[in-house]
């Protein structure tokens, strides 16, 4: 299926993980038990594709708005042609959208009315407001697409205002925290294990990177095949599960476990030194650019293979490997080599 | 007090020659018809054998010469044996050997003879016993052709002119044995007075300083009890502990910060890696092509790394927070402790000052006491100096009197020896001052001065035999007769001149022509003594060596 895309402002390549994407990820995580795909920056900010390409397919389109202080007002909605744009998008999308959502971090403030929460525009607007809304949308669409002859009513019927549950702030820390918490629940849910050892941040970081990648991918303006669009702009709940599964496979020793091993294998003095130098070790280990670490790891692995046959006790093997290697490796301290050996042997 | 030369034995051990001559009390005339027979040498030997350093003619090799001089003093014989600079003194019951003159010979000889002239050492404030030459100086008249005939005594060159004058004042009795000690006392007193005055000045400054210090701190409150040192030390220890704790925390803080920095660097390094991944650039393991599955693996790897680092950072940050809280809690405690310490230090300082005031007061009392003591000492020294100065004044008066006597006598004698006094300012002459004259006047002036000096002597004077080597110069017959007449008149008075030696050619004839008589004179005609070689007569002969071989052997051994 080929759809026409509304002309959009180009995506900033170096843009950080922003609130729009956080909201998209929030939706993705929310539908983890369903077959859902989040399509980024193709249909407005994002679209959620439920059971895509099946009979029960349902597509929701989302536009995210933020307000630093005060409340979002109806007037701003009109001034920015927010509703006109999203209706036009649906129009190009052959009106296949199930709903057209405006998500904002604040409630909507009416000119005369009370503060509004989540609602269908149709239900909450006065007649005058509805009329003004229609006029406003129509004016925008006519300007952009003179061939539009549809009745506006079905579109207006789809319009929803949502006050986002995700807390907003200038820095990403606050909404990231909420999402990490949500990730933690999802991992437990997916693995069916409340006490899993996977760090939710690992999954969250990976998801962030994937979102970022998909965001960078550019669609040709004009018409695009939906499947292609999903390939380069979509993330599915299946992908999330895949990440969790891979993380479970690649489960690695935690700091606590490493130190636990160190305390039984090495002398108390050495253990204290190891504890002290763990951060340094981590800096080396986690630095994916650092080739020296990979080289060292290879040396330790080789030594481990050679010594395995010579000793019965695993502790003794760890000790010997670490001492032998520290003689060969001049750029890391003994403690760092010892931690690495534990990692090689026990991980 | 008189000293007589009794006998002189001269031995040349190399040539095995000798001469032994006896002398008598009163007048001894040593004469000959010929010249160069040894009269002057004999006169010099009298000086040499006594211990004087005199100049002989080149004929004499003193390295081979032994002398043995027998002198009589208070009816006792004293024998002096000299060989080069070694001396042996023998009395009837004792014998002393001196390997070098200045080590004791003079002292011993003078002790035996009762002589006590002490002369100031050159370049020092000490006095020491005079050399024998100084005793012989006024009693010897050389055959001089210059005005200053004392040059015959070579060892007198070491004395200054004023010291030589002093020696002569001893001879004429103007100075006595106490003089040198008074001079020494005076010198000492002057030095110690100077020292006392300078220490008085120092003490005064000290008093000033201490009074100033006490004045500065006169308002300081006295703390008469010492603070509890132990409790103070505890506070210091507490501070040290807290300080240590504080800096340990500070160090930990710095270390954690460094670790966080390191981890943050890893994150920023990884960002580069992530961008490469996102841009689907070729990167080494663990990323492959743009298949979403591989991409998921890579993203997961980065996610793991980042989450590890982030959790470590947050752990470190929480640790840092705890440490910072500890530091914040500790800081006021440390400040408080520091305040306590500074209070303690101030208190301690005050205690020190009050202690210092006690010490200063004590020192001030001492200093004042010392000052008064010094003042008393200065006064007593000034009195002593006054006494000594009056004694010196008495000596000076005596010296002036001696000078006066000398001048009168000298002026008188110059007339007798026919010297024109015009141009000679006699009034300014002191004892034995030389006068610049020339030619035939020299011996006449010398004789006048010689006897003028001897005339200046008084009852306390030292009396030694006079040795008169008569000048052999071209005087007119008249002047010669005048000189001989003068000499004879003087030496005839044996009370004044108990022993005298006159060395002269044709001595008896000359006495006769001066129309003087010298009865009882002991006449030694050198030509009548045994002479080895008549052609080349010498003072020493082999016969005397053989005749006195026993004595000589004894002497040489």
Q: What are the CA-CA distances from residue B405 to residues B136, B428, B456, B492 (Å)?
A: 21, 13, 5, 21
Minimal C-alpha gap between A67 and chain B (Å): 29
pLDDT for the residue numbered B35 = 83
What pLDDT was estimated at residue A7?
A: 66
B296 closest CB neighbour out of A205, A242, A279: A242
Show pLDDT as tens, one digit a residue, over chain B (557 residues).
Answer: 678 999 999 999 999 999 999 999 999 999 998 888 888 899 999 999 999 998 888 888 889 999 999 999 988 999 999 998 899 999 988 899 998 877 788 888 888 888 777 777 777 767 778 888 888 888 888 876 555 556 788 888 888 778 888 888 888 888 887 887 888 888 889 999 999 999 999 999 999 999 998 898 877 766 655 667 788 888 889 999 999 999 999 999 999 999 999 999 888 888 888 887 777 776 554 444 445 667 777 788 888 888 888 888 988 999 999 999 999 999 999 999 999 889 888 877 777 777 788 888 999 999 999 999 999 999 999 999 999 999 999 999 999 988 888 888 888 888 888 888 877 788 888 887 777 666 677 778 888 888 888 887 777 777 888 988 887 666 788 888 888 888 898 899 888 889 999 999 888 888 888 888 888 899 999 888 888 888 888 899 999 999 999 999 988 87
Whether A168 contacts A66, CB under 8 Å: yes
Give me the residue label for tokens 């080069």. B84
pTM of the predicted model, to two decimals? 0.49
In degrees rounded to 5, what are phi and psi of residue A108? -95, 135
Closest-CA distance of chain A to residue B337, Å:
32
The pLDDT value recorded for residue B322 is 94
The answer to whether residue A280 neighbours chain B at the CB level (below 8 Å) is yes
Q: Which of A286, A292, A301, A339 to mutate to test the interface with B (most CBs of B within 10 A)?
A: A286
CA B358 remoteness from chain centre:
44
For residues B3 and B217, give the distance between their C-alpha atoms in angstroms, rounded to a whole number: 78
CA distance B147 to B434: 6
In this complex, do A209 and B293 lie within 8 Å of one another by their Cβ atoms? no
- Chain A residues lying within 8 Å of B259, measured CB to CB: 279-280, 283
C-alpha B186: how far from chain center: 17
Residues of B in contact with A203 (CB under 8 A): 300, 303
Q: What pLDDT is attached to residue B286?
A: 45
State the alpha helices, DSSP H only, in B119-160.
132-136
Burial B228-242 (b: 16+ CB within 10 A, else e): eeeebeeeeeebeeb
Measured between CB atoms, does B46 come within 8 Å of chain A?
no
Residue A256 has pLDDT above 50, yes or no: yes
Question: DSSP class of residue A44?
Answer: B
Helices (H) and strands (E) in chain A, counts: 15, 12
Q: In what order do the strands lie in the sheet with B65-73?
A: B17-22, B3-12, B65-73, B76-83, B86-90, B95-98
Q: Give the whole-angstrom CA distance, residue B463 versus residue B457.
A: 9
Q: Which of residues 282-321 of B touch A (CB under 8 A)?
A: 285, 292-293, 295-297, 299-312, 315-316
- DSSP per-residue string spanning B374-401: HHHHHHHHHHHHHHHHHHHHHHHHHHHH
Q: Judged by CB atoms within 8 Å, which residues 433-452 of B form the interface with A?
A: none
Say whether B197 sits in a helix, a strand or coil: helix
Residue A118 burial (CB count, 10 A) = 15
Of the candidates B269, B310, B316, the beta carbon closest to that of A279 is on: B316
pLDDT digits (tens, 9 = 90+) for A112-152: 444 555 677 777 777 887 888 888 888 888 888 777 777 77
Short-list A27, A66, A29, A67, CA closest to A46: A27
Residue A98's H or E segment, with its range, is: strand A97-104
The neighbour count for residue A72, using CB atoms within 10 Å, is 21
CA A105 centroid distance within chain = 18
pLDDT tens-digit map of A225-243:
888 888 888 888 888 888 8
Strands A97-104 and A159-163: parallel
Distance from the A288 Cα atom to the nearest Cα atom in chain B, whole angstroms: 6
Distance separating alpha carbons of residues A342 and A2, to the nearest angstrom: 54
Q: Which residues of A touch B258 (CB under 8 A)?
A: none
Question: What is the C-alpha to C-alpha distance for residues B512 and B500, in angstroms, rounded to an integer?
Answer: 18
* B269 part of contact set with chain A, CB < 8 Å: yes
pLDDT in tens, A331-347: 888 999 999 999 888 87
Q: Cβ(A322)–Cβ(A241) under 8 Å?
A: no
Cα radius of gyration rounded to whole Å, chain A:
27
User: Sign (positive/negative) of CA torsion B399, B404, B405, B409?
Assistant: positive
Q: Do A206 and B296 touch (CB under 8 A)?
A: yes
**Could you give the CA distance from residue A149 to residue A142 in angstroms, rounded to a whole number?**
9
Residue A15 pLDDT grade (very low, low, confident, very high; cuts 50, 70, 90): low
B243 to A304, B112, B230, B255, B328: CA distances (angstroms): 47, 88, 20, 18, 13
Residue A212: pLDDT band (50, 70, 90) is: confident
What whole-number distance in Å separates Cα of residue B376 and Cα of residue B370?
10
- Cα distance between residue B408 and residue B351, in whole Å: 83
Instruction: Answer with the residue of higher pLDDT: A274 or A1.
Output: A274
Look up residue B192 and give its two tokens.
């110690």
**Can the peptide bond before residue B286 be classed as cis, meaning omega within 30 degrees of 0?**
yes
Burial B377-403 (b: 16+ CB within 10 A, else e): bbeebeebbeebeebeeebeebbeebb
Q: Are the beta carbons of A206 and B303 separated by less than 8 Å? A: yes
Contacts of B274 in chain A (CB under 8 A): 209
Q: Residue B148: name the closest of B344, B385, B442 by CA.
A: B442
CA distance B137 to B131: 10
Q: Which two tokens stand for residue A63?
A: 């536009």
Cβ contact A250:A318 at 8 Å: no
Query: Around Cβ B188, how many Cβ atoms within 10 Å?
Result: 14
**What order do you get walking across the sheet with A108-109 strand by strand?**
A72-73, A108-109, A115-116
Dig out the tokens for B485 from the structure.
Answer: 């007449």
Distance (Å, rounded) from C-alpha B7 to C-alpha B555? 14
Q: Which residue has the tokens 């211990």?
A: B51
| pLDDT value at residue B224 | 56
Backbone angles phi, psi at B466, to 5 degrees: -95, 140
Within 10 Å of residue A276's Cβ, how many Cβ atoms?
A: 12
Q: Is A73 helix (H, G, I), strand (E, B) or coil?
A: strand
Contacts of A16 (CB under 8 A, 6+ apart): A172
| Alpha carbon distances (Å) from B33 to A71, B512, B514, B517, B528 | 162, 15, 18, 20, 10
Token pair in block for residue B351: 């205690």
Residue A274 half-sphere exposure toward CB, CA atoms < 13 A: 25
* CA–CA distances in Å: residue A8 to residues A5, A56, A104, A219, A222: 8, 29, 20, 11, 10
Three-state secondary structure of B44-58? HHHHHHHCCCECCCC
Calculate how close chain A gets to B231, using CA atoms only, in Å: 38
pLDDT at B172: 84
Encoded tokens for A266: 């090495």
Q: What is the ipTM of this complex?
A: 0.76
Sign of the torsion formed by the C-alpha atoms of B136, B140, B142 and B145: positive
DSSP H helices, B126-160, are 132-136
Distances (CA, A) of B453 to A190, B144, B299, B407: 147, 17, 135, 9
DSSP run (H or E) holding B7: strand B3-12
**Are β-strands B522-525 and A159-163 bridged in parallel, bridged antiparallel, or unpaired?**
unpaired
Instruction: Find all residues with CB under 8 Å of B156, minimum gap 6, and list them.
Output: B131, B133, B134, B137, B150, B164
Alpha-carbon distance A59 to nearest alpha carbon in chain B (angstroms): 23
Give the Cβ contact number of residue A64 at 10 Å.
Answer: 23
């Amino acid at each position: 299926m080929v759809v026409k895309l509304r002309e959009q402002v180009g995506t900033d390549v170096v843009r950080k993980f922003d609130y729009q994407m956080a909201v998209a990820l929030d939706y993705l995580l929310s539908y983890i038990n369903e077959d859902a795909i989040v399509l980024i920056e193709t249909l407005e900010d994002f679209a959620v594709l439920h059971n895509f390409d099946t009979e029960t397919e349902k597509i929701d389109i989302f536009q995210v708005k933020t307000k630093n202080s005060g409340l979002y007002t109806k007037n701003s909605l009109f001034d920015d042609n927010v509703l006109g744009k999203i209706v036009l998008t649906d129009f190009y999308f052959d009106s296949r959208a199930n709903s057209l959502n405006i998500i904002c971090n604040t409630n909507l403030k009416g000119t005369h009315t009370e503060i509004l929460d989540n609602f269908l525009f149709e239900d909450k607007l006065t007649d005058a407001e509805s009329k003004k809304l229609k006029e406003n949308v129509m004016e925008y669409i006519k300007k952009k697409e003179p061939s539009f002859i549809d009745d506006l009513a079905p579109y207006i019927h789809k319009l929803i205002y949502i006050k986002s549950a995700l807390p907003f702030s200038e820095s990403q820390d606050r909404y990231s925290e909420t999402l990490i918490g949500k990730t933690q629940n999802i991992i437990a849910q997916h693995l069916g294990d409340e006490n899993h050892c996977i760090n939710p941040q690992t999954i969250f970081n990976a998801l962030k990177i994937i979102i970022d990648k998909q965001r960078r991918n550019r669609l040709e303006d004009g018409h695009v095949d939906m499947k292609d669009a999903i390939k380069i702009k979509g993330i599915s709940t299946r992908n999330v599960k895949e990440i969790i599964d891979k993380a479970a496979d690649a489960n690695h020793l935690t700091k606590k476990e490493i130190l636990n091993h160190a305390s039984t294998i090495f002398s108390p003095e050495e253990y204290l030194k190891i504890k002290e130098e763990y951060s340094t070790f981590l800096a080396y280990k986690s630095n994916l650019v650092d080739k020296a670490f990979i080289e060292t790891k290879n040396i330790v692995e080789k030594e481990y293979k050679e010594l395995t046959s010579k000793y019965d006790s695993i502790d003794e093997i760890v000790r010997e490997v670490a001492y032998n290697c520290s003689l060969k490796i001049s750029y890391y301290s003994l403690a760092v080599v010892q931690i690495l050996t534990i990692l090689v042997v026990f991980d | 007090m008189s000293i007589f030369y009794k006998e002189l034995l001269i031995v040349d051990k190399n040539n095995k020659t000798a001469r032994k001559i006896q002398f008598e009390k009163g007048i001894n005339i040593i004469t000959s018809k010929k010249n160069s027979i040894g009269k002057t040498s004999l006169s010099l030997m009298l000086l040499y054998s006594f211990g004087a350093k005199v100049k002989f003619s080149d004929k004499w090799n003193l390295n081979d010469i032994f002398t043995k001089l027998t002198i009589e003093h208070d009816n006792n014989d004293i024998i002096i044996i000299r060989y080069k600079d070694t001396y042996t003194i023998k009395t009837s019951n004792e014998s002393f050997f001196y390997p070098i003159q200045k080590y004791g010979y003079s002292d011993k000889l003078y002790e035996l003879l009762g002589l006590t002239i002490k002369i100031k050492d050159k370049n020092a404030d000490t006095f020491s016993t005079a050399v024998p030459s100084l005793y012989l100086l006024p009693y010897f008249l050389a055959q001089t052709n210059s005005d200053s005939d004392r040059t015959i005594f070579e060892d007198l060159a070491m004395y200054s002119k004023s010291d030589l004058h002093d020696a002569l004042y001893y001879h004429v009795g103007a100075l006595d044995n106490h003089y040198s000690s008074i001079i020494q006392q005076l010198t000492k007193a002057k030095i110690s007075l100077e020292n006392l005055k300078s220490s008085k000045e120092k003490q005064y400054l000290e008093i000033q300083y201490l009074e100033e210090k006490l004045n500065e701190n006169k308002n300081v409150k006295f703390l008469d009890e010492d603070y509890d040192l132990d409790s103070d030390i505890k506070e210091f220890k507490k501070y040290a502990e807290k300080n240590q704790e504080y800096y340990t925390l500070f160090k930990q803080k710095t270390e954690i910060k460094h670790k966080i920095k390191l981890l943050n660097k890893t994150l920023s390094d990884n960002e580069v890696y992530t961008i490469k991944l996102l841009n689907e650039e070729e990167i080494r393991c663990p990323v492959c092509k743009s298949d979403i599955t591989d991409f998921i693996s890579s993203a997961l790897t980065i996610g793991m790394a980042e989450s590890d680092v982030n959790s470590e950072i947050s752990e470190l940050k929480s640790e840092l927070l705890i440490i910072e809280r500890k530091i914040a809690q500790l800081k006021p405690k440390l400040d408080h402790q520091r305040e306590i310490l500074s209070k303690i230090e101030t208190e301690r300082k005050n205690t020190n000052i009050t202690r210092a005031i006690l010490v200063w007061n004590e020192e001030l009392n001492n200093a004042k006491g010392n000052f008064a003591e010094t003042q008393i000492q200065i006064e007593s020294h000034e009195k002593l100096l006054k006494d000594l100065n009056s004694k010196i004044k008495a000596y000076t008066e005596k010296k002036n009197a001696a000078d006066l006597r000398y001048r009168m006598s000298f002026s008188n004698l110059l007339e007798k020896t026919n010297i024109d006094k015009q141009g000679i300012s006699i009034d300014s002459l002191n004892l034995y001052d030389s006068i610049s004259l020339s030619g035939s006047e020299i011996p006449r002036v010398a004789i006048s001065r010689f006897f003028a000096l001897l005339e200046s002597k008084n009852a306390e004077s030292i009396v030694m035999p006079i040795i008169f080597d008569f000048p052999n110069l071209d005087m007119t017959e008249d002047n010669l007769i005048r000189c001989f007449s003068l000499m004879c008149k003087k030496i005839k008075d044996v009370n004044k001149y108990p022993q005298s030696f006159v060395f002269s050619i044709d001595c008896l004839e000359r006495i006769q022509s001066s129309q003087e008589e010298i009865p009882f004179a002991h006449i030694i005609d050198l030509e009548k003594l045994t002479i080895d070689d008549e052609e080349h007569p010498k003072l020493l002969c082999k016969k005397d060596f053989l005749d006195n071989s026993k004595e000589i052997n004894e002497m040489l051994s």
